């Protein structure tokens, strides 16, 4: 699962180290999301076999699935952001002239970065509060809440970096094309 999205042109020559690291971390995050989905699949199957085959349902599978669904969602978010795999309504953008579309793309990516940064900061503050107070999930198998909500911080912060990358690459491309 390598490669950049359709909106991020690959430079000829050397890729900046920070972009390369960001790509690797984003790809690793996607692998974590895929592992979480595989774990969800296994947990459901274990539950079905134990419940219907042995009349001995688990206490943990429903909670496990909900926690890992959050992990999968937020771990996959940065890759979807980078590749433009998220839902987008582009009808208004398509009606704009090409130069305005490019400026709008930069503005939208910048706004997306700001929103993700704000949300990541809010989630980080709450996660730290949960850690300090030792808050646990109210569940059959209590789990530290920070271990779950930390994934929101991860996904939002990494998505913010990807939005910044999109804004900067679109801005650089727009500047190059304006000079030509």
- Between 20-34, 71-85, 89-103, the lowest mean confidence (pLDDT) is in 89-103
* pLDDT at position 141: 80
16 contact partners, CB below 8 Å, separation of at least 6: none
Task: Output the six-digit token pair for 152.
Answer: 């929101």
Residue 124's CB is within 10 A of a number of other CB atoms, namely 17
**Mean pLDDT of all residues belonging to the chain:** 86
Average pLDDT on 127-137 reads 93
* pLDDT at position 33: 97
Average pLDDT on 54-81 reads 92
* pLDDT at position 129: 96
Backbone angles phi, psi at 8, to 5 degrees: -115, 100
Domain locations in the chain as residue ranges: 17-179
Percent of the chain with pLDDT over 90: 54
- Between 57-61, 79-83, 109-113, the lowest mean confidence (pLDDT) is in 57-61
The Cα–Cα gap between 151 and 18 comes to 22
Residue 81's CB is within 10 A of a number of other CB atoms, namely 26
Using 50, 70 and 90 to split pLDDT, how confident is the model at 7? very low
Each residue of 10-30: pLDDT tens digit?
545 567 888 889 999 999 999
For residue 8, is pLDDT > 60?
no
DSSP letter at 53? I
Backbone angles phi, psi at 144, to 5 degrees: -60, 125
- Helical segments of 49-144, H only: 61-83, 91-95, 98-133
Rounded (10°) CA dihedral 99, 101, 103, 106? -140
Percent of the chain with pLDDT over 70: 86
The Cα–Cα gap between 45 and 51 comes to 10
Residue with the bigger pLDDT between 5 and 78: it is: 78
Each residue of 146-168: pLDDT tens digit?
999 999 999 999 999 999 998 88
């Amino acid at each position: 699962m390598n490669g950049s999205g359709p909106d991020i042109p690959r430079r000829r020559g050397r890729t900046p180290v920070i972009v390369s690291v960001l790509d690797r971390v984003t790809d690793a995050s996607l692998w974590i999301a895929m592992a979480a989905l595989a774990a969800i699949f296994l947990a459901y199957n274990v539950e079905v076999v134990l419940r219907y085959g042995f009349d001995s349902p688990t206490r943990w599978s429903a909670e496990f699935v909900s926690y890992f669904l959050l992990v999968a969602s937020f771990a996959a978010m940065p890759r979807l952001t980078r590749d433009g795999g998220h839902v987008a309504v582009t009808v208004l953008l398509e009606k704009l002239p090409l130069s305005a579309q490019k400026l709008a793309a930069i503005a939208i990516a910048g706004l997306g970065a700001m929103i993700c940064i704000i949300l990541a900061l809010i989630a980080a503050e709450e996660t730290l509060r949960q850690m300090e107070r030792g808050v646990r999930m109210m569940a059959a198998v209590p789990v530290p809440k920070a271990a779950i909500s930390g994934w929101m911080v991860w996904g939002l912060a990494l998505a913010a970096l990807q939005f910044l990358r999109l804004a900067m690459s679109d801005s650089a491309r727009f500047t190059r094309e304006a000079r030509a």
